[in-house]
Structure 1
């Protein structure tokens, strides 16, 4: 046999030796690095970074918190066409290689030799999974080697579908979108199963360079990348020639579509966010995919927002126009583009859009924005009749509205909180060209000049039997101020606090017919550090007055005498049961006039006791919190106001049988059976009934009479106003809903003459309750046993009979029925039958 030339033998030996050394080196390197590689087992129980989501009680999205937008999907939820597009674009040999594509790797090595730097190529989908879950993005040899070794491990322990699922849920696709689920929503506003072929190809082109080929930021380059993906799909046989041709000609409709809440409840959402952060910490809260289900009723919330804003704006209009938010020199602005730039930093607040007055002149059929036409309109303004003159307001994006004199007739100039100037006679009396103003849409294509109110307010609504929060707004607009006046503003409630004083009096032996003298009084109270001469709001004195009438008419002097007789110490002990902070309850007679410090949330919870028959329920707003896997990690255990909780709970749908479904509904609240708790009774049913009866008189014959427009007989409540009219309140309820409205300035200044609870706050309450109770049957407290109704003389408060022409009916505890009026006996008025004198139940 012919021997090989010596140089070939040496050459072959050298190659084999180098190969052996290389293999040993690689084996050694693997043995060295392998123990340091992370466990692929982590991928079987992966936790994606998902935002915190807040929902209403009826499942509507209220808010999202977190930087990364992600909607994880199982592989069987991802359409074939979607994953095929990504495979075609990113790794055509994905189903053939063992985690590393040697052909692609060879190309990457060639690039390294030629350019002496790490370049593109060679990275498979499996390698991207290894990098995205376990490694950094730094371009080093060691990182690349770890990536390769991890890819082999991943391929050994996971199948191809599992790897694709991880990849398609983790990959960054621009615009804060991680994964195909989020990207399809953000770019096209639809789930992956509804994507068109062209849209799918556009998204599949993003992983390599999400910013460079982004259809929003770089639409031309994005279309080039889409064409590449479609071509690869066609060449690999995934799509037909017809599909390729059709998709290639489709225009792209991508734009950023952030997930918009369907319920506007930012103050409640912030409360829920803080709740979860307190539970799990900030980092976990914003990335753990937690879901908070609140008790908010989306319909009630919408009504609350609208009622509060409408009446804050109504108050603001009563006190005049403070002028434009700014003034621009239109000579320095070239036209629409510059106007858009000027408006870009001015937010819409409370539905009031900002705009620029670009012309004042005759109403025209065509509101074109030709600068020459604008100038001519200004020149013609003086020549037209006043009713034909309009202010043309540019609203951005090429839109304009025309405001005539009627749209700004309210805009008398603000002089002080007590005074406004003369009504405008011309449009030019109110606005000028260049003014930055607000516009309110009234519906039906009509608009009105507006301004963001300085005054603020809040509204809180609870379910009185369980304390579930139904609706809450802590201000005119969360973007204007994040201070939550419903839960954080400690204000004086004024006369809205009197029901608690009178309830304490009932507990101490008073009756609704007790006579108290409404007369001048001077107190030398050391706690008040001065001589105190309290007065009624009217400045008048009314003499002997029944307690029922005194509450209905909000008589201050009667309330003071009642508190003095019962005692401030006894009354403060009584108030403790309602949950009012004792350190904010003054230990002096000013307590009778509402000098305590309470939040609207606290006051609403207090009124719930009267509404539910005497039980203290704990207000709550979170029904349950779920983790990223949908497991309930916290569930509400609300207290339930009922005489016999077992029977009442069954009637309401909360069964004590532990085998029932885990969630049940009570007044709109989610409870986990059988974890409801009986509420604590803190006042007797008789006390709650009599207090409610007196508060109904506030609406039928007292300071809350304007609520009669609702046409319901089951409403009870109380107005409240404080010194210098700094605060205005109305708190009221029926058997299903208890609601408190407050209005005032954050700085604690006067709202102006006549701005009492009846004028400023009650309209918020009535607007809300009118809509909230549409279609709801009347629901009043059931009259408890132990009460009797008899005729009394309204002057003396004593029992009389039907022959007394002034007699009225009053209700008492059976052991507190007053004596018969001796004057009625002497005047022969006692000739009625026994039936006439019998209690009426």
Structure 2
């Protein structure tokens, strides 16, 4: 009994002792126990992952032969090679042949604990996490050289925790399989230094024109500094930025004790000579615009490909020469040329791609000046104006704004055609005010202008900034009869073995304006070149186009088309300062002419279609066909009064002798006429001009430019004309002070 009772008391005492421990000690103990267990499991999992990854890694020779990047061969429309882009590899540099200063520079700037860590810099990672927690800022990347090598060879640059974890496992595996010297050799022969150069030998040859074995301290520092941001510090793009980055690298090397501060200070970067790039010409403006579209056209693809483009080498050469020969000193020039279907035949984005790869044809935003009047007159024509309508060139003030013509004079009453040809600002302002500035902006958007448009009165003179390619697209739509045109530069993409990956499909454009509006604006554009401000753009065959000049001669434009080719030219300074003597009718128009003479040389001459087939609401009365016997027709004016047809007399009633005052179709003869239609009242309220229209009498129009049709206006058509004029359709209002045509 006693023994049993003693045994039962011992466990109870132990339990009570355990319960008496503080809660925090029990929690801390649980954290250590479970934390240790989880850490052990994590270490086992990590070790297993590293072990199996290490077993699957290629051997050193296989890693040496692998290449990064994608080679792209760009071909012209005739198949010839324009340029080959993509990775450039120099000679493989064994570790012992790599200059020591180059090895030290890259380690100092990219991974100063490279020789100590196992592939992942735990200290650097902990510091980044600590800084993230204490400063509420995002942890900065702490990739070691080994991690960067793993990413460059096996992974992508996608930002995700999964990619980062795989990168760490691969780095640990690489460190287990290869020596530090082998890893550094792989890194320096494979890392990307910009400009398509992979490895230090390719970078040395590209930037300095000699092998990597001849790298100086300054050159090594510049190349080491490129890894962080190749595009920002490229010596060929910004040599001063590259040298500044090189000085930072030398400072880091001095801090790590690789070189002394005195040695760092003694390095003279002024001795560095950057090699001039070869094979860089205006074609690169086109490839820089076209090739990024591959991301949308193709599925993910890393194999070498050939890209067949729309570019015509002969036209591209002519475009480059036309800009170089005509651009004012100190200014830049840009040109875009489109075929009927929107294919880009030539593109020049500047005068020198090597010195400036900024593409002014597709990226620059500049004011279009009077070339913007294309949209003003398109809106006016759609609202009911015709090229022969009378307008008044006179002083005008709209919402406190008083536009002036270029010559500071006024022509008085002129027709729409003349106002456009001589680019009369006052008339454009009145038209814009009448149709609505919002309507003009809407028309510009309809024709492909993608930039913001203001709707203040001065907008009719081109104060909203636009791109050259957008304006060229708008004029191409006019050339296409008012149908939208979409610029494109890639016709097909194949692998080097010939497998088709993509092919451009032609899509019919949308109708932007009725045909009669496109015909009317073509009439105006043709006149502007024939007798107006664009005379310098003549090429010996029909040309339609428009000049544009902004205030203080900051921008000069000419845009036009002929034989199915539409071309836009812009000139000006990048800093938007004044260019003496620059105007759209001079240098840009001459450049257009020089280029187009070559571009259309092998194309047949095409006459413009300027035939106005007006809509029903805008037709003159003599185009309203009636059914029945022509002798049964009668005539009324706008007020419903019967009028005499041409040659009618009281003995020949206008209604063909209708009995008992009965008009055709059950109508009633007005009381001013007797039983046989004899006039008993005052003469009809109609003049000769009205009668000419009502009877379809043919008339000559000296301002008419007939196109491929039989005539330009309904009154000139030799078709039977009915003699009944129904109630007139509503006609658009005119500018105050003008007369009807």
Please report the TM-score for the alignment, with normalisation by the length of structure 1: 0.45
Residues 1:778 and 2:605 aligned together: yes
Residues 1:605 and 2:470 aligned together: no
1:56 corresponds to: 76
Alignment deviations for residues 135-182 of structure 1 (CA, whole Å, 9 cap, x no partner): 99x9999669xx9xxxxxxxxxxxxxxxxxxxxxxxx999659xxxxx
Q: CA–CA distance in 2 between the matches of 1:784 and 1:570?
A: 25
Query: Residues 25-424 of structure 1 correspond to what in structure 2 (within 5 A)?
Result: 36-37=55-56, 49=68, 50-69=70-89, 176=202, 264-276=282-294, 288-312=303-327, 315-316=328-329
Could you list the runs of 5+ residues in structure 1 that have no partner in the other structure? 1-31, 71-132, 148-171, 178-185, 188-208, 213-256, 317-453, 526-530, 636-670, 791-795, 821-832, 836-841
Query: Residues 616-695 of structure 1 correspond to what in structure 2 (within 5 A)?
Result: 616-627=484-495, 630-635=498-503, 671=504, 675-695=505-525
Displacement of 1:726 in angstroms is: 0.9
Task: State whether residues 786 and 814 of structure 1, in contact with CA within 8 Å, keep that contact through their aligned partners in structure 2.
Answer: no
Residues 1:506 and 2:381 aligned together: yes
1:495 corresponds to: 370
What SS class does the counterpart of residue 557 from structure 1 fall into?
helix
1:522 corresponds to: 397
Alignment deviations for residues 89-127 of structure 1 (CA, whole Å, 9 cap, x no partner): xxxxxxxxxxxxxxxxxxxxxxxxxxxxxxxxxxxxxxx
1:711 corresponds to: 540
1:725 corresponds to: 553
2:333 corresponds to: 457
Distance 1:802-1:303 versus aligned 2 partners, 3 A rule:
farther
Displacement of 1:774 in angstroms is: 1.8
1:122 corresponds to: none
Residues 1:480 and 2:499 aligned together: no
Q: 2:704 aligns with which of 783, 786, 809?
A: 809
Task: State whether residues 456 and 476 of structure 1, in contact with CA within 8 Å, keep that contact through their aligned partners in structure 2.
Answer: yes
Q: CA–CA distance in 2 between the matches of 1:686 and 1:511?
A: 9
Q: CA–CA distance in 1 between the matches of 2:582 and 2:511?
A: 37
Task: State whether residues 282 and 353 of structure 2, in contact with CA within 8 Å, keep that contact through their aligned partners in structure 1.
Answer: no
Displacement of 1:599 in angstroms is: 0.6
1:745 corresponds to: 573
Alignment deviations for residues 514-570 of structure 1 (CA, whole Å, 9 cap, x no partner): 1111001123x2xxxxx3221100110011110001111111111111111111122
Q: CA–CA distance in 2 between the matches of 1:609 and 1:773?
A: 18
Task: State whether residues 62 and 264 of structure 1, in contact with CA within 8 Å, keep that contact through their aligned partners in structure 2.
Answer: no
2:595 corresponds to: 768
What SS class does the counterpart of residue 586 from structure 2 fall into?
helix
1:77 corresponds to: none
Larger Rg: 2
Q: CA–CA distance in 2 between the matches of 1:36 and 1:139?
A: 10
Displacement of 1:291 in angstroms is: 2.8
Residues 1:587 and 2:490 aligned together: no
Q: CA–CA distance in 1 between the matches of 2:353 and 2:595?
A: 19
Residues 1:614 and 2:482 aligned together: yes
Displacement of 1:625 in angstroms is: 3.0
Task: State whether residues 61 and 263 of structure 1, in contact with CA within 8 Å, keep that contact through their aligned partners in structure 2.
Answer: no
Could you list the runs of 5+ residues in structure 2 that have no partner in the other structure? 1-50, 91-152, 155-169, 183-197, 204-208, 215-274, 621-688, 721-741
Task: State whether residues 699 and 716 of structure 1, in contact with CA within 8 Å, keep that contact through their aligned partners in structure 2.
Answer: yes
Task: State whether residues 367 and 555 of structure 2, in contact with CA within 8 Å, keep that contact through their aligned partners in structure 1.
Answer: yes
Alignment deviations for residues 779-822 of structure 1 (CA, whole Å, 9 cap, x no partner): 234466837999xxxxx9998999999944366999996999xx
> CA RMSD for the aligned pairs?
5.0
Alignment deviations for residues 559-586 of structure 1 (CA, whole Å, 9 cap, x no partner): 11111111112222222211213x6222
Task: State whether residues 281 and 353 of structure 2, in contact with CA within 8 Å, keep that contact through their aligned partners in structure 1.
Answer: no
Q: CA–CA distance in 2 between the matches of 1:763 and 1:485?
A: 19
Displacement of 1:702 in angstroms is: 0.7
Alignment deviations for residues 274-319 of structure 1 (CA, whole Å, 9 cap, x no partner): 33467789xx88x64233222111111111111101112xx22xxx
Q: CA–CA distance in 2 between the matches of 1:720 and 1:258?
A: 37
2:138 corresponds to: none
Name whichever structure is richer in strand by fraction: 1
Distance 1:539-1:624 versus aligned 2 partners, 3 A rule:
same
Please report the TM-score for the alignment, with normalisation by the length of structure 2: 0.51
2:117 corresponds to: none
Distance 1:819-1:289 versus aligned 2 partners, 3 A rule:
closer
Q: CA–CA distance in 1 between the matches of 2:279 and 2:475?
A: 31
Q: CA–CA distance in 1 between the matches of 2:396 and 2:403?
A: 7
Q: CA–CA distance in 2 between the matches of 1:696 and 1:210?
A: 60
Task: State whether residues 528 and 545 of structure 2, in contact with CA within 8 Å, keep that contact through their aligned partners in structure 1.
Answer: yes
1:532 corresponds to: 401
1:95 corresponds to: none
Q: How many residues align?
A: 442
Q: CA–CA distance in 1 between the matches of 2:407 and 2:502?
A: 52
